[in-house]
Homo-oligomer: A and B are copies of this chain.
Amino acid sequence: MSIDRLDGRLIELLAEEPRIGILEASRRLGVARGTAQARLDRLQAGGVIKGFGPQVDPAALGYPVTAFATLEIKQGQGADVRSHLSTVPEVLELHTTTGHGDMLCRLVARSNADLQRVIDRVVGFDGIVRASTAIVMENPVPLRIIPLVKQAADD
């Protein structure tokens, strides 16, 4: 789905100040409320905006340690490993990838010591041959989308 600059500015506005609402957003964009409403509806229907769920910070919940684990999987065990990992709350996301590893997952833990427990739980499963973990020290660029939205709007 392609978006124009108005869509882009609307997304930026809502990202910066989600509380302003459609009416205020339309005022700031200099368009009628119905227009802003129609753009938002279209963005949601097109899947560009998946929702407005709360953004929860794991660190504030007591899980300040993040790590990425690269997993090597026994052939044919992919599905089992997937369902195993989906039962571990500390596994925040899981991808299957090309390259040396077969899967990459993002983990959080209460501490470095707790991370050992999480990793043991993750890799304590038959289908996983090997795991290599990288602990996150800093996060210079937190998950962001606005620069990409701007680029997509300018195409």
Contact = CB atoms under 8 A, between A and B. Distances in A.
Interface of A: 1-3, 11, 14-16, 18-19, 46-63, 66, 68, 70, 82, 85-86, 88-101, 104-106, 108, 132-145, 147-152, 155
B58 A55 contact: no
Query: How many copies make up the complex?
Result: 2
B135 A99 contact: yes
A143 B93 contact: yes
Contact of A54 (B14, B54, B57, B105): B14
B95 A136 contact: yes
A97 B49 contact: no
B96 A137 contact: yes
Nearest to A83: B140
B49 A55 contact: yes
11 contacts: A1-B61, A1-B62, A18-B54, A52-B54, A56-B148, A58-B145, A68-B104, A82-B141, A85-B140, A92-B148, A98-B135
